[in-house]
Copies of this chain bind each other. A is one copy, B any other.
Amino acid sequence: MHTEGPDERREERLEVTDRTRHRRLREKGSTLRSDLDDVLRAGFVCHLAVVVDGTPLAVPTVYGVDFDTRVLYLHGSVASRSLVQSPGAQVCVTVTHVDGLVLARSVFEHGVNYRCAMVLGTPRRVTDREELLHGLRVLTEQCAPGQWEYARSPSRKELAATSLLALPLDEASVKTSAGPPDDGEGPDAASGVWAGVLPYRPVFGAPEPDPLLPAGTPVPAHIAALAGRR
């Protein structure tokens, strides 16, 4: 029997399509599935590109990924409206992490360090009660691990009012840009201009209790643990 080891799994590659082939120079495309997963795992807000009434919109929404079934779940009221209009509608889900400003000797070589994943496909509305619960759990746990067990679960009525989309990770691309500026060995290197990277990262601050919370309600450990982390 062949058992897939972690190293082999780490080396699994994404299928490259005409839409996901990398075209640009400075950015570095990756076809490693683990790179895609790392970018998706590091966030909880994506931008969904969807055509609504003929206009492409980029709509921010919350997402979570089930890395076992390779399905991305997202809150999708705007997309739902569009998907009702045109079944089979294509969308793009983009997750971007801005990691820093690249400050070069010349304006032209300036840039941004980032990691970006784009998932393409046709999402389906989640209507099955069990999958709705599962998708919400995935989404909630990606935002704040431990919160699904801690907070009250959705009622039947609340589930019915939840609009969730499922998008398989079948067609995706990853691009990252990292490191110092490129003009350290060019003619501008002698200019005396400072060059380097200004790192940029989001962090969670200290929890702010709801003013209506009874005094003395303890902050649960899984929430306290998030403060200071990204």
Write the residues of chain A forming the contact surface with B, with a CB cutoff of 8 angstroms.
Answer: 19, 24, 44-45, 47-51, 53-60, 62, 77, 90-94, 96, 98, 100-101, 103-108, 110-112, 114, 116, 118, 120, 136, 140, 143-144, 147-148, 150-155, 158, 161-162, 180-181, 184-185, 188-189, 191-214, 217-220, 223, 226-227
Contacts and interface: CB of A to CB of B under 8 A. Distances in A.
Contacts of A154: 106-108
Given A47-B47, A184-B212, A195-B209, 10 more contacts: A45-B112, A60-B116, A101-B144, A107-B136, A110-B143, A144-B198, A192-B214, A194-B218, A194-B220, A199-B206
B196 A207 contact: yes
Contacts of A140: 107, 110
B153 A107 contact: yes
29 contacts: A24-B77, A45-B114, A47-B60, A47-B94, A47-B96, A48-B58, A49-B56, A49-B57, A51-B51, A56-B91, A57-B92, A60-B96, A100-B208, A105-B151, A106-B151, A108-B154, A180-B212, A184-B213, A194-B209, A195-B212, A195-B213, A196-B209, A197-B210, A198-B207, A198-B208, A199-B204, A199-B206, A201-B202, A202-B203
A5 B148 CA distance: 51
B206 A194 contact: no
B213 A205 contact: no
Contact of A107 (B148, B192, B220): B148
B53 A19 contact: yes
A91 to B, nearest CB: 7
A91 B56 CA distance: 6
Contacts of A150: 193
A120 B55 contact: yes
A7 B115 CA distance: 41
Contacts of A189: 212
A60 to B, nearest CB: 4
B58 A210 contact: no
Nearest to A114: B60
Instruction: Give the top 6 A-B pairs by smallest Cβ distance, nearest first.
Output: A184-B212, A199-B205, A49-B58, A58-B94, A180-B210, A106-B152
